[in-house]
Structure 1
Amino acid sequence: MSIIRRAMDVMLPQRCTVCSSLAVPREEVITRLPDGMALCFDCMSDLAPMPEDKRWMLCLSEPYSGDPIPSLTLYMPFKYDGFFSRAVPAMKFQGKSQIAEFMGMLLGNMLKEDSVEADLIVSVPLSEERLRERGYNQAELIASAASKVVGIPAARDVLMRVKDTERQTSLADKAGRGSNVDRAFMVREGWDIADVRIILIDDVATTGHTLHSAAETLFAAGARNVLCCAVCGNRYSTNDEVF
């Protein structure tokens, strides 16, 4: 490192992108970071995934009789606490899109470690209004970064949101969350996903209703298989077997 760079680091030390604490110097960070991102020691020390047998579960936290896809699987490698409970709000509401890229790298590494295979990666879309407010779709950025790690192509425009829903986190009861996203998506004209194996990505999963609704749409359009995937969530119950 140049003398000028060292002097700059002393006078203007980098701050953690997630929590604004003093960041670890970039050359000392083992984990690859996106451009413009820095992490403090606490955030870097808080990235451990859940054990392998706890990363797989049914997509819906409360399965119901008559579900057309009752065995729909959710892959979720991280808990929504510690680093992720700080990073997700910063990513969504503070304009820190580089966090989404970093989460995609983490997710891609986990998918690779667990030998997950597919033909296409699809992200859960935002409504046009929310996309304008935020300036980017964090799920799309996560999917793009994960795609580069696992070598599976990502398509940003397969799904579109046709129902401008309320934020899921603003709805207290699980039934309300389900009806909120019912028939909220459609496959864009021109896409043929018949017999395609899809990884469907969102940033966070709680009840699983958003991913479930989007997966229903993909299956209705002919997808052979859909694996729902969220970077993190606050559900820790697992199925009796790993799918």
Structure 2
Amino acid sequence: MRRTELKQDLLTSVHFLFPSVCMLCGRVLVKGRNCGEELLKLQVCSSCLSQFPVRLSTERWFPCLSDPFEEDPIPDMSVWALFHYETPVSTLLRRMKFHSKKYCGSLIGELIGREFPTEVPFRWDAVIPVPLSEKRREERGFNQAEVLAKGLSEHLGVPLCNNVIRKIRHTKQQSRFTEPAQRTGNVKGAFAVDEKWDITGWNILLVDDILTTGATMHEAAKILYENGACRVFGAVAATHRENDEE
């Protein structure tokens, strides 16, 4: 009992000396005042969380490609997006990708995991992040898609498989291209399934940070289907696109 009390006293002292602060506005988080237990864990205050541009539940599914073509081998692929690509989500994603703020991605990954639909007429076999090239991963120190995928994996209770897909050649950043055809050409043939994996019959949730034209996710999904996957759906943090069914 004494050891438990000492541990609690120590934790109280640590929280007093080094209080948790909201990662967005910097305000001290006080349970019961500006956050609850769950928000305290996420390190965000209720005021900032209320500003997240969450999409309506009926406006979260999109066709993978913004510019579909007739010969598409996977024309029915759908991608789920939780947020509009607006502040503060866009700010957090940029901090994560370009300023090595991995914790920003952990917050968004946790929110994605909590909101992603759990009732599907099949069983997920794997959550797979879209990979980076070795060069890009070394530059950033981590793969942002892996950070986001972790939250989904934990909440769905589905294995996170980071090494199923490899990026076999370095590509220019997709943001440098404005035309869908340019983006498609940039990533064509960029992915391969690692030969150690047999994904025949798998139902896969493919994860990335942003959906723009869908070229990157489409190319990664195509290689999964070519290696025997049964179903591939996508999940991203945010998209610029509006729901096509409006």
TM class by shorter chain equals 0.7 to 0.9
- The SS at the match of 1:49 is coil
Equivalent residues of 2:53, 2:89 under 8 A apart: no
1:32 to partner: Cα distance: 3.3
Task: Note the aligned Cα RMSD (angstroms).
Answer: 2.3
Structure with higher Rg: it is: 2
Equivalent of residue 192 in structure 1, options 198, 223, 243: 198
- Indicate whether 1:123 and 2:108 are aligned: no
CA distance in 2, matches of 1:5, 1:30: 15
Q: Name the CA distance, whole Å, in 2 between partners of 1:34 and 1:96.
A: 18
User: Quick one: distance in 2 between partners of 1:216 and 1:33?
Assistant: 38
Deviates more, 1:205-214 or 1:164-173: 164-173
- Look up the match of 2:5: none
- The share of aligned pairs that are identical, in percent, is 32
Match of 2:50 in 1: 45
Where in structure 2 are the equivalents of 1:1-243 lying within 5 Å? 2=12, 5-6=15-16, 9=19, 14=21, 16-18=22-24, 21-25=25-29, 27=31, 28-30=34-36, 32=38, 38-40=43-45, 42-47=47-52, 49-112=54-117, 115-116=119-120, 117-239=123-245
Aligned length: 232
Q: Please state whether the residue corresponding to 2:119 is helix, strand or coil.
A: coil
Q: TM-score, normalised by structure 1?
A: 0.87
Say whether the 8 Å CA contact 2:53–2:84 is kept in structure 1: no
Structure 1 residues 76-132: Cα deviation after superposition (integer angstroms, max 9, x where no partner): 1211112211111011111111122221111111114x5245111111000101100
In terms of mean alpha carbon deviation, does 22-31 or 75-84 score higher? 22-31
Residue ranges of structure 2 left out of the alignment (5+ in a row): 1-10
* Aligned-partner Cα distance in 2 for 1:121–1:138: 14
Q: Distance in 1 between matches of 2:229 and 2:213?
A: 23
Distance 1:39 1:176, change over 3 A: same
In structure 2, how many angstroms separate the alpha carbons of the residues matched to 1:67 and 1:56?
A: 19
Distance 1:156 1:221 in 2: 16
Q: Within 2, Cα distance between the matches of 1:152 and 1:194?
A: 17
Please say if residues 58 and 239 of structure 1, whose CA atoms lie closer than 8 Å, have aligned partners that are also in contact.
no
CA distance in 2, matches of 1:4, 1:219: 50
Unaligned residue ranges in structure 1 (runs of 5+): none
CA–CA separation in structure 1 for the residues paired with 2:13 and 2:220 = 53
Structure 2 distance, partners of 1:229, 1:67, is 20
CA contact (8 A) 1:124 1:214 kept: yes
Contact between 1:23 and 1:41, CA under 8 Å: does it hold in 2? no
Equivalent residue of 1:115, what SS?
A: coil
Q: Which runs of 4+ in 1 moved over 6 A?
A: none
C-alpha distance in 1, partners of 2:39/2:99? 19
Is this contact kept in 2: 1:17–1:96, CA < 8 A?
Answer: no
Deviation at 1:26, TM superposition (A): 5.2
What is the CA–CA distance in structure 2 between the aligned matches of 1:47 and 1:30, rounded to whole Å? 17
- 1:16-47 per-position Cα deviation (integer Å, ceiling 9, x unaligned): 434xx332415342373697x63355532123
Deviation at 1:4, TM superposition (A): 7.4
Q: In the alignment, which residue of structure 1 is the partner of 2:7?
A: none
